Amino acid sequence: MSPHGSSRSASGISAESGLKTSRDSDGLWEGHKVEEVATPRAFAVDPEMVHQFYNMRRSQLLAVEPNLAYHALVRLKRRFKDHLTLVTQMWPISTSGQACAM
């Protein structure tokens, strides 16, 4: 079955909630170059550092709230069950239309 449209969101959607992104003005993501924490090579070189980085990112989610854009994506998913939502940040929209941490 084909989706009734699709949505794609990138790191900027998380910035609105107060999370640092790889698009910050200094070009760093929590003090790291993206290539140091978000590539298969980074994981191969230093898996412990990559795990620490993402564990820290997950813990930051506890201190912020999803913004209006996240709520809009959830409403789309609830209204159109076949709506395809692609996310590149850490608040994925589940198949039930619930956003993690909401």
Instruction: Judge contact between 50 and 43, C-beta under 8 A.
Output: yes
Per-residue confidence (pLDDT) for residue 94, from 0 to 100: 43
Domain positions in the chain: 1-18+65-102, 20-63
Q: Residue 40 belongs to what H/E stretch? A: helix 40-45
Mean pLDDT in residue range 4-27: 74
Q: Tens digits of per-residue pLDDT, 36-86?
A: 888 999 999 999 999 998 888 888 888 888 888 888 888 888 888 787 777
What percentage of the chain exceeds 70 in pLDDT? 74
Burial of 74 (0-12, 13-18, 19+ CB in 10 A): buried
Cα–Cα nearest to 89, from 30, 15, 31: 15
Bridge partners, 7 (sequence order): 85
